[in-house]
Structure 1
């Protein structure tokens, strides 16, 4: 498995190796031992799978607050999408900054999004499937969100000119970053940042 850093410290890209022949391919999409060797001791407890029918569907920016924070390992089951992480840890040197990576069935890339980062994505193909692991269970009472088009964050969602994004009412009405009291505090580099 190849591991790459991103412009946001703590957010990583994983690319599992695929072994292919005339039948197709085999790949280990997750290996706890390989993660531990890279300094990542996250225990994942829940897998989620979502389907977005239309190109330009935006979901996010979402997070779960303490005591049910979630680290996420996100990959694409079918199609392609642009995955986005935003640092919302108060006091972080990268507070309010974002990073994005295209994840697709073809490229097999995965994004590790630590707790303390808001997460969102936009679909680049019809019927895009998003599959992700979480380090804590879904706890609706701790859910939070930030407006996907917050100008202070300034995410380039990569949508073609004139494309109207498909957004839920909840996401369309989410607060701006300046309107939330972030439940996350920067506590220094994450263990895998130090290990790298």
Structure 2
């Protein structure tokens, strides 16, 4: 098994939101992948000032849908296994406010989400969601996050699993619409 993997990045219509292809190498024994290799990712477009201080993993069941949330930190997210439909919504002031981008995630896709861009995902299979951030999680910081309703027509996200059939938390069902968010 060769221990070399590669990262290739591409930009999106949301400034700073980057999608990376992170290859893996396989043989009869299994596979190897560098989920986060700083030098390779910087070469592929990751901001140089992104410094990981915390990495977390979440297990999600098929049909689970995590609501739009824009935290006050930058995030690098990928899947260890499984597949998901991810949607991103720019909540930062400026000409791209309200712009949405969707990406199908698998174990060879990673996304850099800048602070102020809401992210959400819908599980097409059971999966493990791995993410690294550049600020430690705290309830105070999380309380400053912005949340948007997944069904907001202004976001124009076409969820592969209808939201009335998806597994959603009660909190995610009741987030405000984009037009209800305070704007500075």
Shift of 1:163: 5.9
In 2: Cα distance, 1:117 partner to 1:168 partner:
21
| Pick aligned residue for 2:89 from 81, 86, 90 | 86
1:9-158 matches, cutoff 5 A: 9-37=15-43, 38=45, 40-41=47-48, 42-53=50-61, 55-64=62-71, 69-91=72-94, 93-105=95-107, 108-125=108-125, 127-141=126-140, 142-158=144-160
Of structures 1 and 2, the one scoring higher in RCO (CA 8 A, sep 6+) is: 1
Unaligned runs of 5+ in 1: 184-196
1:17 CA drift (Å): 2.5
Which range is displaced more, 162-171 or 129-138? 162-171
Q: Structure 1, residues 114-142: CA drift from partner, whole Å, max 9, x if none?
A: 111011000001x2211111111112232
Q: How many residues align?
A: 173
Structure 2: give runs of 5+ residues left out of the alignment.
1-6
What's the TM-score once normalised by structure 2's chain length?
A: 0.86
Alignment-derived partner of residue 11 in structure 2: 5
Alignment RMSD (CA, Å): 1.9
CA distance in 2, matches of 1:57, 1:182: 30
Write the distance in 2 (CA, Å) between the matches of 1:16 and 1:39: 13
**Cα distance, 1:39 vs structure 2:** 5.6
- Whole-Å separation in 1 of the counterparts to 2:17 and 2:53: 19
Output the CA distance in 2 between the equivalents of 1:104 and 1:18: 12
CA distance in 2 between counterparts of 1:81 and 1:152 reads 22
CA shift at 1:145, angstroms? 1.1
Structure 2: distance between partners of 1:60 and 1:159? 14
TM-score (structure 1 length as normaliser): 0.81
SS of aligned partner of 2:19: strand
Cα offset for 1:182? Answer: 4.8
Q: In 2, are the aligned partners of 1:89 and 1:182 still within 8 Å (CA)?
A: no
Contact 1:74 1:133 in 2 (8 A): yes
d(CA) in 2 for partners of 1:36, 1:73: 12
Change over 3 Å in CA distance of 1:39–1:146 after alignment to 2: closer
